[in-house]
Structure 1
């Protein structure tokens, strides 16, 4: 079939040539320089140009096919080599997992010699040395990978991991910053750098990184960490007692707008107000903190606050108001009684404690408070009985043995 088709094409070509020769009997000259020329018919000239074009196209096609064949051969050879290296790498991993670390090490070193750009071999070899506890050698392998493969994120992250384990924090910070220079959105590097600043108590640096991290990873954990860092930054300003208390107050208010149950922020805000002499504002913050969170720490804070100011009647009134709302609240009753004991209002304290006890409540803190009340009244015997109730009951076992034979 192909022969017939070729024969038809040749016949058509000859007919086309004869047709052109018949229509164009005149001759043309093809000058080649220095007055020399070739003279031939127009049909011959056209056919010659056509055949030359076909020949050039064929030659170009042959070279193109040859180039593709060479590239294909090189690609197949590269792929075979890659498959061989991948097989060796898997074998090294298997040896490492089975505990044959020396054989795994030799195999990984062979891979690195043959393919120094193979990143996975360096990482596995560093893992092997790390498993042996040789962090220094593991770090040398990572540095070798940086030289031969380049400063890639995965390699730099392994270096950062090793610097963290070695507690080389300046190098760790440099490694993390290099990762973020390559990829500013690397979540692992941002998290590690934030934690590093937190460990160093560098709250400004931690805040900057935490905000960058939130932009790329809006998780609950990152949001809570950012709140905590903002709180610590404000807390640091308060502890310094400098001229930036207003900045701390503003920050803490914003925190409480975002999380109304963030108890430490209420306490810090109240302290900031107290340092500025705004005692009424501090008292309101303690009250709002208790209302929003229900945490008893605010009751303790208000006790100290009003007693220090010589105005315990206010906190007594607050407790009574709380008991009016929840008269059977054992915790509030106990705290109220403890405050009464603190103010040496012994009879009232005993009345409250006995009321709680009469309801059938029995827990160590109640009995300790009763013991303290009876002790204040001089009733030592009853105080001892109550203290015994507060202590856990345990069987007493005394071991006797012979000092000579140990039996």
Structure 2
């Protein structure tokens, strides 16, 4: 429209100029054909012709660009349609996989890869499907192909680590998890998985190294942090046992102490540390550790360990006080155990009257062991058996009952 308006204005202007400038010029179209036109009209006609040619050239190029854009849009539309179809097939395969229909999942994902061999998610899914079918080597190959195209794909990295784990390729898994950790230093999950690999290898040094890196990352999650502190305690305990078995006693004792420091309710660490002290000839430290262990864990095994040592040393006062302090009116079942152990302790050290007093003052429905102890306190002999043989049998029964 603007070109039409411009042309009309140009014609009007030409007429106006020609009217004011009537001088003529001869214009030869051929040798025989000539025209006489006002000079101004001739000049304006030439200019107008130039404008028309420019407009024609402009529209020619514009049409070419339009055709090019149309072709590009057509190709884009076809590509998008193809991509939508590929994504639809991928989702379909993923749904088959999640519902456990592995054969269908393989069939559909193969169509995706045939249409788009560079589809990273499809390569990763093919790896998952093959892994679920038990084809670990093939699964790893597809997962590696996916990572070749997208090296930072965390999902495929973890999937490949899982494949290595199931295939027993622990060194490959460790190296891969270390790479994930380097790329994601603030993430706890790679470290948790790395720690679990070391656990399988019973590599307690690296387990504890990983654990020390995990704890600061989860400090804001109090419940999880508490559980991981307990885990750290257990790992120190396990390393201590390993050290003890190869006769590295001082490092073992140090690990048991670290286990208790990390979590003071680790009963196993308290018990083993006391045993370690006892075996190295440190009875007082063993007893001190067991008494402290009972205070922190309420594990009766700490006191029964101490009772066996007191039978040899003859020093029972601390143990008697521990039993008396442990009695809680709100826990009758536990009280009965402590009373039986206290009565047994008195009998072991030749104080039958005190044993009788404890037993008679604390009657319960469970009277078998109490009756046996009371009978032993009242009668030095029983059916020809020596008091010592009877006491040994009853002692084992009482300890077994106390540990239930």
Larger relative contact order (Cα-Cα within 8 Å, sequence gap ≥ 6): 2
Secondary structure of the equivalent of 1:81?
Answer: helix
Distance in 1 between residues matched to 2:66 and 2:278, nearest whole Å: 87
In the superposition, relative to structure 1, how do residues 286 and 116 fare at CA in structure 2: closer, same or farther (>3 Å)? same
Q: Is the 8 A contact 1:179 1:186 kept in 2?
A: no
- Which of 301, 312, 316 is the aligned partner of 2:305? 301
**Compared CA separation, residues 202 and 68, structure 1 to 2 (3 A):** farther
The secondary structure found in structure 2 opposite 1:167 is coil
Give per-residue Cα distances to partners, 1:202-239, cap 9 Å, x unaligned: 22211221222233333333442244325533663572
Deviates more, 1:326-335 or 1:157-166: 326-335
- The equivalent residue for 1:251 is 258
Cα distance, 1:6 vs. partner?
A: 5.3
Kindly indicate whether residue 294 of structure 2 is the aligned counterpart of residue 290 of structure 1: yes
Larger Rg: 1 or 2? Answer: 2
Cross-structure match for 2:39? none
Partners of 1:342 and 1:61 in 2: how far apart? Answer: 112
Going from structure 1 to structure 2, the CA distance change for 1:128 and 1:260 (only over 3 Å counts) comes to closer
Residue of structure 2 in register with 1:221 after alignment: 224
SS in 1 for 2:362: helix
Q: Distance in 1 between matches of 2:308 and 2:228?
A: 30
Query: What do residues 141-185 of structure 1 show as CA deviations (whole Å, max 9, x unaligned)?
Result: 334434565463222211222232333323332332233244334
SS of alignment partner, residue 362 of structure 1: coil
Query: Mapping of 1:337-376 within 5 angstroms?
Result: 337-343=343-349, 345=351, 348-357=354-363, 361-363=364-366, 366-371=367-372, 374=375
Decide whether aligned partners of structure 1 residues 310 and 168 sit closer, same or farther in structure 2, where only a CA change above 3 A counts.
farther
Cα deviation, 1:77-96, whole Å, max 9, x if unaligned, reads 43222211111123334555
Deviations 1:237-265 (A, max 9, x none): 5725445478547735642xxx5544445
CA distance in 2, matches of 1:327, 1:156: 53
Is the contact between residue 340 and residue 349 of structure 1 (CA under 8 Å) also seen in structure 2? Answer: yes
Give the aligned length: 346
Deviations 1:338-385 (A, max 9, x none): 33455565554344334322xxx223xx523533664784556xx9xx
Supply the RMSD in Å over aligned alpha carbons: 4.9
1:336 correspondence with 2:318: no
Change (3 A) 1:313 1:166: same
Distance change >3 Å, CA 209–CA 95, structure 1 → 2 = closer
Q: How many angstroms apart in 2 are the aligned matches of 1:179 and 1:89?
A: 26
**TM-score, normalization: structure 1?**
0.64
Question: After alignment, is 191-200 or 320-329 more displaced?
Answer: 320-329
* Alignment check: 8 A CA contact 1:350 1:370 kept: no
1:316 matched to 2:320: yes
What residue number does 2:154 align with? 153
| Cα deviation, residue 109, structure 1 | 1.6
| TM, length-normalised to structure 2 | 0.64
> Which has the higher mean CA deviation after the structures are superposed, 191-200 or 90-99?
90-99
Which shifted more, 64-73 or 279-288? Answer: 64-73
Q: CA deviation at 1:302?
A: 2.5
- Residues 169/298 of structure 1: CA separation in 2 closer, same or farther (3 Å cut): same
- Superposed counterparts of 1:131-170, under 5 Å: 131-147=132-148, 150=151, 152-170=153-171
